[in-house]
Amino acid sequence: MKCKVYKDGILLYQDGEKENKPFQVWYVSLRDRNKVLNGHILVNFTSGDVEEEARARRIQSMKGLDESTGCDGCGAGFFLQSGEMDYLPDEALGLKIYAYTMESAEMAKMGLRGFLDAVCILCPPIAFRILLPFAAQIIQISKTIPQIRPIIPTVDALANKTPFSRFVVAVVVTYREYHRGPNGTVYTTDPAAPKSTPWNQEQETLSLSCRNEWLFMQANPEDNENEGGFRNLTYPISRAVLRARIWLHQNYELGNNTNNQYILKGDVYEQYERWCTEDPTIARATFGRIIADVFPGINVGLEPRGHVTTNSARHCYKNLRRRNQHTQ
């Protein structure tokens, strides 16, 4: 294995490899049963979009072991399936560490799991030892990512470290508290021991209302996703989606409209666009699916005759109304 500067980071490669589009190593913070950051992380790699790959891995982990490939989605299937840990794919971040081939990317992933003590099932010491000569470069580039600085080890610490992750699944499952503190934290299986404070606690950006909405979705799977622990959900879970669902709950409700009252689909979306200033705007088609999920009994149709003011009737919600006011 060799290492060289590449774009904004470093590239791990072997002699003879073609300079293809590189794979990128990424990580995502895990959350406990109540959707609060718990300090643990997953590490993997992708040749495409980090968020999309994180979502795909989450789905695979929820489904369990794929016998055809032996893949269980980053080795955290036990925790995700049991509900002890979870994550939002849009919280995944790319590390500035790349590789030309899948073989080199796999080695980088496994070694970095050991370097950063990621939750995993498989973390072979050989990968750790192969990356160890490049510890200084890996640490230097990792420190440019402020989110993970509290858990970046020193070169000396890596030289004296056991060559695998402290948090392989077989070990973490014995802990009474699924929390991980910053470097230097001592861990114990004693339930009476003080609870560790997650090293990334101050990075929390998910509001209590968003966490409650996420918990509600999991507690009511008949409305929800078959991918990643839910059923029938056709859109990915993200912070923007959770906030949009809360906004819908707060501003609309199902009811029996009379006298041909209704709400145009376009009007609801435009109102959402005006409100949405903190998150990327959800696409119109996806927003429509979210409304159908939030209000399972919603009745969609065309404007009633006599109300059409354009060349053709527009789609509307016939039994959706604004809270605390009459619809038009």
CATH C-level class of 208-322? mainly alpha
- Output the pLDDT for position 111: 96
- Scanning 117-181, the segments in alpha helix (DSSP H) are 125-131, 135-142, 155-159, 169-172
**322 three-state secondary structure:** strand
The alpha carbon of residue 236 and the mean position of all alpha carbons in its chain are separated, in whole angstroms, by: 9
Q: What is the pLDDT of residues 75-116, one digit of tens each?
A: 678 888 888 899 999 999 999 999 999 999 999 999 999 999
Q: Are 67 and 129 in contact (CB under 8 A)?
A: no
Q: Are 55 and 228 in contact (CB under 8 A)?
A: yes
CB atoms within 10 A of CB 150: 18
Cross-strand bridge partners of residue 120: 168
**For the residues 105-132, what does the mean pLDDT come to?**
92
> What mean pLDDT, rounded, does the chain reach?
86
The alpha carbon of residue 114 and the mean position of all alpha carbons in its chain are separated, in whole angstroms, by: 21
Q: What is the pLDDT of residues 169-183, one digit of tens each?
A: 888 888 877 899 999
27 phi and psi, to 5 degrees? -135, 160
pLDDT range class, residue 308, cuts 50, 70, 90? low
Q: Are 80 and 62 in contact (CB under 8 A)?
A: yes
Q: Which residue intervals of the chain bear CATH 1.10.10.10?
A: 208-322
**For the residues 4-21, what does the mean pLDDT come to?**
93
Where are the extended beta strands (E) located within 49-177? Answer: 93-99
- Output the pLDDT for position 188: 84
**266 three-state secondary structure:** helix
Q: Which of 6-15, 57-66, 146-155, 296-305 has the lowest mean pLDDT?
A: 57-66
| Closest to 39 in 3D by CA, of 161, 162, 182, 165 | 182
Q: Are 111 and 122 in contact (CB under 8 A)?
A: no
